[in-house]
Amino acid sequence: MKELLLLLIGSVVMNNCVLQGYLGITTVMGNAKCTCKCVKLGLAVTLTMVLTTLIAWPVQNFVMAPFGLEYFQTLLFVLVILAVVYCLKALVKKDICFPLIVLNSAVLGVTLQNISATFVQALVGALGAGLGLMVAMLLFAGARGKVNDKYVPASLRGLPVDLMTAAILAMAVMAF
């Protein structure tokens, strides 16, 4: 139990898939405008990561590995992500931008990384990665709100200052 809790905390803070691995950085930079939207999208991505891992882990370990079909892994996981997002979209009828979740590299990357762990560790790792993405989105939204464009030179406004903000947040997390 202690190991799982450490894995969860480590996935959220120290091994943050966005700030350390740059998975899903486009989702974070493009949608971190208001905290309400960040929380909704972060919870949707977290649920997608957990459900994708819940389906992909048994398929990988009980179907693909015994028959030597590991080379279809990426294609099959993309199809699993599409199916999970399609089902979530049918169930949740909210204004969450589901195409962003399908195209999010963090969902596929975390699923591929967690396949080698045990089933429970993979689920906890997916939960921690999703929560870490949400924390990164909230941190980035807060930092973006503090950057005053009036004091930023014209050539650095927009994407350049956003990239510098992401780099500073990544260094802050590394120091933690």
Mean pLDDT of 46-73: 92
pTM (2 d.p.):
0.85
Mean pLDDT of 137-144: 84
> What are 125-136's pLDDT values in tens digits?
999 999 988 888
H helical segments located in the chain: 2-9, 25-31, 35-59, 73-92, 98-102, 105-114, 119-146, 159-175
pLDDT value at residue 32? 66
pLDDT value at residue 21? 75
22: confidence class by pLDDT, cuts 50, 70, 90: confident
pLDDT value at residue 52? 94
Positive or negative, the CA dihedral 158, 31, 20, 23 is negative
pLDDT value at residue 176? 65
In the predicted structure, residue 30 carries a pLDDT above the cut 90? no
In the predicted structure, residue 57 carries a pLDDT above the cut 90? yes
Give the integer Cα–Cα distance in Å for 28 and 18: 8
In the predicted structure, residue 119 carries a pLDDT above the cut 90? yes
In the predicted structure, residue 170 carries a pLDDT above the cut 90? no
Name the more confident of 21 and 43: 43
In the predicted structure, residue 43 carries a pLDDT above the cut 80? yes
pLDDT value at residue 76? 92
Q: Say if CB 20 and CB 170 are below 8 A apart.
A: yes
